[in-house]
A and B are shown apart, each in its own frame.
Chain A
């Protein structure tokens, strides 16, 4: 008898603590619903607490509460300060109105009826049909979940896709052309076919070096063909388009010059160009 009494008290204490925790989280849940309804994250906590409550109740050391009966001993319509304090102001009076709600052990008669109906229905359809129904419900739920998550993902990526352009193929081509043969980089000559490569005005120094470069071509007679100059963009000719045709049209001697002679004369011209450069700058 004593042991059962102690057990009862211990389990009551445990139950009280669980119920207090649950009450607190329910309170915060209601608060969140009312104020911060866009950030509801507490369902996991609530379900966890309910689960622990159930576990405590099912614990082997818990005596069957079903066998215990609570009987109100005194009912009074006066305010009870003690009760107020304990229930945090929710139950001011322990009167005959409060008792049916708070000391209830069975649901309302209508609710009880409905529950009985449902239980008879469930028992009627048989175990395997019930199992099939459970399975189909699970499958539908998972399908729905999948659809929702896919929608979420797609809408996210769809919203980001216009901004998601991380590279521009035209830029790629422009950059590769710039690195490979200086398209759009050089200040000394236009970029041939595309007009976009037209750089700014070359400085005076470069014009003069260009001019002397032209003279160099005329005088040294480096053998080259007209077609080859026109085809490649890699030419160290002068900057302005007006001068280029004149450079090409000059008569260029070939073969009569010994390669070494050409080399020496080009070096001389280089020296002349360099000295000109120095006088310019």
Chain B
């Protein structure tokens, strides 16, 4: 069920294959304020946007070895916002010069009965967490600074505890496949956040 690398697939029409370019880092709690100030200066001028999301990750064990992963995200502080379903592919093994993690990305807005639908389809919830933090934007780049909370009682988002004393910082761009200069822009922006945060491409497989 895993798609072959997207850049090899022929374009047969329909939607454009979007890739997510990602750089990640973290910042300790006591340095969060300075990071927020710096981001407010560097990013587009807009109202500081905070978010409180509940994300659930669903797995479908298929015929192949690795299961199919879908991420369902809902907003806990914005009533009426649609649920967000996301598919993220395997990171593309490009040349070492590419500065960001690149993976295929499909984003869909759905209605509220998403979890029921997925369960009926055979997906099982693997894990869930609550993300609470700030959102910044610079052009097509999106910067999220958020804290991950572990859910203690499955199904209830009231009892949460923070996973660590740091905030996760993610710089991401969703762009059509093949645009590698995006990663250069991202690297330049990441340079401006040093030495507060070191944004780098972290391969999740290394951390297994």
Contact = CB atoms under 8 A, between A and B. Distances in A.
Interface of A: 164-169, 171-188, 192-193, 199-200, 202-203, 205-206, 213, 222-225, 228, 231-236, 259, 263, 266-267, 270, 274
A35 B50 CA distance: 50
B177 to A, nearest CB: 21
If over half of B's interface residues share one DSSP class (helix, strand or loop), that class is named, otherwise mixed; here it is mixed
User: Which of the four size classes fits the interface of chain B?
Assistant: 35 or more
A167 B166 contact: yes
Given A171-B28, A175-B26, A224-B65, A187 B126 contact: no
B34 A175 contact: no
A1 B168 CA distance: 86
Given A203-B153, A270-B119, A176 B28 contact: no
Q: What 6 pairs across the A-B complex have the smallest Cβ distances?
A: A182-B127, A180-B204, A228-B65, A186-B127, A166-B31, A171-B166
A113 to B, nearest CB: 62
Contacts of A203: 153-154
Interface string B129-152: 100000000000000000010111
Nearest to B124: A236
17 contacts: A164-B195, A169-B198, A171-B165, A179-B168, A181-B204, A182-B127, A182-B129, A185-B128, A188-B154, A199-B150, A203-B154, A223-B63, A234-B67, A234-B126, A235-B67, A266-B122, A270-B122
B188 to A, nearest CB: 19
A171 B26 contact: yes
Contact of B202 (A172, A182, A199): A172
Contacts of B129: 178-179, 182, 185
Contact of B59 (A172, A225, A236): A236
Contacts, number: 132
A168 B125 CA distance: 30
B168 A176 contact: yes
A275 B66 CA distance: 28
B91 to A, nearest CB: 10
Given A167-B25, A167-B166, A232-B65, A173 B34 contact: no
B154 A172 contact: no
Interface string B175-204: 000000000000000000001111000101
